[in-house]
Amino acid sequence: MSKSGSQPSARLRLVEARKRQGWSQQEMADHLGTTRLNVSRWERGITTPSPYFRIKLTALLKMNAHDLLQTETESEQTSQEEALPPDQALSAPGRRISSGAWTIPYPRNAFFTGREDLLHELHARLGRDHSLALTQAQALSGLGGIGKTQTAIEYAYRYANDYTAIFWISAETHESIVSSFVAIAEVLKLSEREEKEQSRVIAAVNGWLNSHRDWLLIFDNVEEIELVKGALPATRSGSVLFTTRRHAIGLSAQMVNLEKMTDEESLRFLLLRGRLLDPTTPLDQLTATDVALAREIARKMDGLPLALDQAGAYIEATQCSLSDYLQLLHMSQSRLLDERDAYADHPLSVTKTFALAFKQIEQDNALAAELLTLGAFLAPEAIPEALFVESAAVLGPPFEALTTGPLAFNAAIKELLIYSLIQRNATARTVTIHRLVQAVIKEGVMESAQRQWAIRAIRAVNHVFPDCYDVSAWPRCQSFLPHALACAALITSWNMTLPEAGELLYRAGNYLRRRGQYSQAEPLLCQALDLLMKMLGPEHLSIAQHLNDLALLYSSTGQWTRAEVLFQQSLTMREKKGGPDHPDTAESLQSLGYHYCEEGRYAEAEPLFRRTVQIYEQSRGPDHLNTASILSALGFIHNRREEYTHAESLLQRALLIQEKALGLEHLNLANTLNNLGYASLGQRCYSQAEAYHMRALAIREKALGPEHPDLALSLSNLGKVSFAQGRDQQAERSYQRALAIREKALG
């Protein structure tokens, strides 16, 4: 009943409004994201809508916000749903604030974890000196479910004593803003609170704000900037805090981007929310197994507070073990991401939160939706923008719009940034997508379409992944490598047999091999070889190159027998298909010769190298780089035979060709310099030997990094030079570093 008894109560007005729409209770529940039982209880007066649902109802039913506010009688019946003031937040349910004005519609979150530095920073920025007007506005920005609202709530409770009043405005729609201002007017007991004309209520509240100081106004979930502009007070004698998914909102607000929770924050929050840990209990009170399981669950939630809250709530409600939940997560991630308690402060699940944002993007910018979907099939971190732009031609419509210039790409990225579904690094020119956004987007794609998107991703990455034979291409290879590895998983899971899949696996595997990352390279090269054999047959000439490169990997890791078998297969195929004097045949001869040298079989290696020299000199000329590499190899053999003068002559000729063609610091010089150092050491020219080895080491370290296996050879040879001169400690340091590098690379 209303105060006068002449007006229908809020519950009856709710029934009437629903029936005007022609909805059943279930249909209205579906629109609201709650249960039919909830709607039934509201309409029977057993409970009243929480502030969250009251705001949604005003927008959905297009009712005057005042019509859904509780009367005094109704408020007394449902006082347990009211938010408590800061000093009574976790005790004395139902008691009202005794001083100051307060309209925070949520209780303090007992599980709130982390964000300490951010809260302190916000407090400093929202300081008490409001003479600088618009500088007092701050905006918490970030992905849906990242904890913007909860952080704002925690700030309000934590620093409540610093403000004379704290008001909460739900800023999703015009109706929710009006509803919030009516609630403020009620708390302030303004005479205009009974006005039906909404603009008068807002004006009255702003009049109060303009004439008072040191208040805090929180606009939660800002979507439409223009709606908020019309609700802001004319003067800033207080502080304003916005929460928004947008990366920029104007309004002279300083943006504070909310990041994912750290690993430790995620772990602790999950355990607290699941009631597995008391706030005062240290982690070491749990078993190591439980901590490890919780850490794995937290890792899969990727620092997203909403996902962690869902996981903890599920564990608490079902009393399942951490191991059981982890198993469920492996089997039914999509279902668990869609689990949500309708009574929660954020009743939308992870799935619904992201799916609704994606649906809006599809309506606003089709290219943005396509970019995000493609990104869902790649690695989440640091996706190069070049991957989208440069591969547009092979992706088809609507990606073809990207070929017209940067405007279309920037417009699409802007749309994704509005909803914080990506993060953009303008300096590195990369974008990042949260793992759970990827999971939800992929789950929303039909299975038949998922395969097509996987093919698109493979073709796109293959199109931009360069050959790795020139070391200058390695930085670009590295930037695309995580996405090539993501595509390798797609190739396996979808059993792909398309040319681009084989090419990408080979390029990525060969790059890893040349970088000395053999354990990662081997499965990719094996997978590429198997795929190529399925598509082309075992006798196709292109398979010889794959066999040769896989054999080089086995040779580098000491798997001599496996390497030799593949080298011989490659050589036989090339001799049969291209003839005994073809340059491809020479490549296999050269590789097999290097392999024999690795095993110390110099007598078998030399005729292969001499035959290779003849082929290269005839086909490519005496001053070609291929010729130089074989001259260097022959010099190595003469070194092993202690024919140092002859070796030095061959090596000097090789070095001259390489320096002329490549410059003085190219990686290809390192092997020749290393062999020259060995020849000088054999002739006891120690200073010259050391200079050659130091130069080789510097070139390799600059090109390959400090832990590549090839550095170990230069370090070992430097150790020999130092030892020969009686500098034992210096020799030991070189040997120790070489040993550490080899152990890390080879085991």
Sheet of 215-222, strand order = 101-102, 165-170, 215-222, 239-244, 137-141, 254-257
pLDDT of 544-564, one tens digit each?
999 999 999 999 998 999 999
If one counts every other C-beta atom within 10 angstroms of the C-beta of residue 621, the result is: 11
The pairing of beta strand 383-384 with beta strand 430-432: antiparallel
Burial class (CB in 10 A: 0-12, 13-18, 19+), 282: exposed
- What pLDDT shows up at residue 179? 85
Q: In which band, very low, low, confident or very high, does the pLDDT at 66 lie, cut at 50, 70 and 90?
A: low
Cα Rg, the chain, nearest whole Å: 35
Q: Cα angle vertex 543, ends 540, 549, to 5°?
A: 165
Question: Is the pLDDT score of 642 beyond 50?
Answer: yes
| Confidence label for 602 from pLDDT (cuts 50, 70 and 90) | very high
According to the model, what pLDDT value does residue 720 have?
93
Burial of 512 (0-12, 13-18, 19+ CB in 10 A): buried
Half-sphere exposure of 403 (CA within 13 A, CB side): 10
Burial bucket for residue 250 (CB in 10 Å: 0-12, 13-18, 19+): exposed
The predicted pLDDT at position 77 comes to 37
Q: Which residue type, as a one-letter code, is found at position 715?
A: L
Backbone torsions φ then ψ of 170, nearest 5 degrees: -80, 110
Would you state the pLDDT for residue 50? 66
pLDDT reported for residue 90: 38
Q: How confident is residue 154, by pLDDT bands cut at 50, 70 and 90?
A: very high
Q: Are strands 137-141 and 254-257 parallel, antiparallel or unpaired?
A: parallel
Mean pLDDT in residue range 658-685: 93
Question: What value does the mean pLDDT take over residues 36-47?
Answer: 72
- Looking at this protein, which amino acid is placed at residue 696? A
User: Which of 81-95, 611-625, 629-643 has the lowest average pLDDT?
Assistant: 81-95
In this structure, the number of other CB atoms found within 10 A of the CB of residue 497 comes to: 12
Tokens (6 digits) for 306: 């909403």
Answer whether 700's CB lies under 8 Å from 714's CB.
yes
User: Among 130-144, 456-470, 699-713, which is the least confidently predicted range?
Assistant: 130-144
Residue 262 has a pLDDT of 93
Per-residue pLDDT averaged across 250-279, rounded?
Answer: 89
Rounded Cα distance between 251 and 257, Å, is: 16
Show Cβ contacts of residue 579 under 8 Å, excluding neighbours closer than 6 positions. 585
Question: Is the distance from CB of 741 to CB of 711 less than 8 angstroms?
Answer: yes
Read off the pLDDT of residues 164-184 as tens digits, 9 standing for 90 and up. Answer: 899 999 888 888 888 889 889
Asked if 651 and 676 count as a contact pair (C-beta separation under 8 A), the reply is yes
Range among 208-212, 359-363, 402-406, 602-606 rated most confident: 602-606
Whether the bond into 380 is cis, omega within 30 of 0: no
Provide the pLDDT for residue 671. 92
Reduce the DSSP state of residue 223 to 3 states and report it: coil
**Amino acid identity for residue 344 in this structure:** A
Mean pLDDT of 249-269: 88
Q: Quick one: which H or E segment has residue 239? A: strand 239-244
* Whole-number pLDDT of residue 405: 85
Provide the mean pLDDT of the chain: 86
Residue length, the chain? 747
Alpha helices in 579-668 (DSSP H): 583-598, 602-619, 625-640, 644-662
Q: Write out pLDDT tens, residues 89-135.
A: 433 332 333 346 888 888 888 889 989 999 998 988 887 544 444 44
Residues with Cβ within 8 Å of residue 72, at least 6 apart in sequence? 3
With the CA atoms of 559, 564, 565 and 570 taken in that order, what torsion angle do they form, in degrees rounded to the nearest 10?
130
- Flag whether pLDDT at 82 surpasses 70: no
The proportion of the chain whose per-residue pLDDT surpasses 90, expressed as a percent, equals: 53
How do residues 513-542 score in pLDDT, each as one tens digit?
A: 999 899 999 999 999 999 999 999 888 888
Residue with the bigger pLDDT between 573 and 194: it is: 573
**Can you give the pLDDT at residue 99?**
43
The Cα–Cα gap between 723 and 599 comes to: 25
pLDDT band at 83 (very low <50, low <70, confident <90, very high): very low
Sorting pLDDT into bands at 50, 70 and 90, what band is 2?
A: very low
**Residue 294 tokens, joined:** 């919780």
> Phi first, then psi: what are they for 32, rounded to 5°?
-85, -20
Among 279-283, 453-457, 554-558, which is the least confidently predicted range? Answer: 279-283
- 329 pLDDT band, cuts 50/70/90, is confident
Helices 366-375 and 406-418 pack at an angle, to 10 degrees, of 80
- Tokens found for residue 717: 């040879």
H or E, element range at 203? helix 198-210
| Residue, of 36 and 520, whose pLDDT is higher | 520
Helix axes 686-704, 709-724, angle to 10 degrees: 160
pLDDT tens per residue across span 300-323: 999 999 889 888 888 888 888 999
Q: Which amino acid is at 332?
A: S
Is the pLDDT score of 449 beyond 70?
A: yes
Partnered with residue 101 across adjacent β-strands are: 165
Interatomic CA distance for residues 667 and 677, integer angstroms: 16
In this model, does residue 283 exceed pLDDT 90?
A: no
Cβ atoms within 10 A of the Cβ of 739, count?
14
Which tokens in the block code for residue 418?
């509005």
CB atoms within 10 A of CB 80: 8
Cβ neighbours around 286 below 10 Å, total = 17
Evaluate whether 36 touches 4 at the Cβ level (below 8 Å): no
Percent of the chain whose pLDDT exceeds 70: 90
pLDDT of the residue at 234: 80
Residue type at position 590:
Q
pLDDT band (50, 70, 90) for residue 571: very high
- The predicted pLDDT at position 341 comes to 60
Q: Does residue 86 or residue 304 have the better pLDDT?
A: 304
> At 65, is the pLDDT very low, low, confident or very high (cuts 50, 70, 90)?
low
Residue 189 pLDDT > 80: yes
**pLDDT above 80 for 403:** yes
Contact 275, 298 (CB under 8 A): no
Determine the average pLDDT of the residues in 43-63.
71
Instruction: Provide the pLDDT for residue 563.
Output: 95
Predicted local distance difference test score (pLDDT) of residue 132? 44
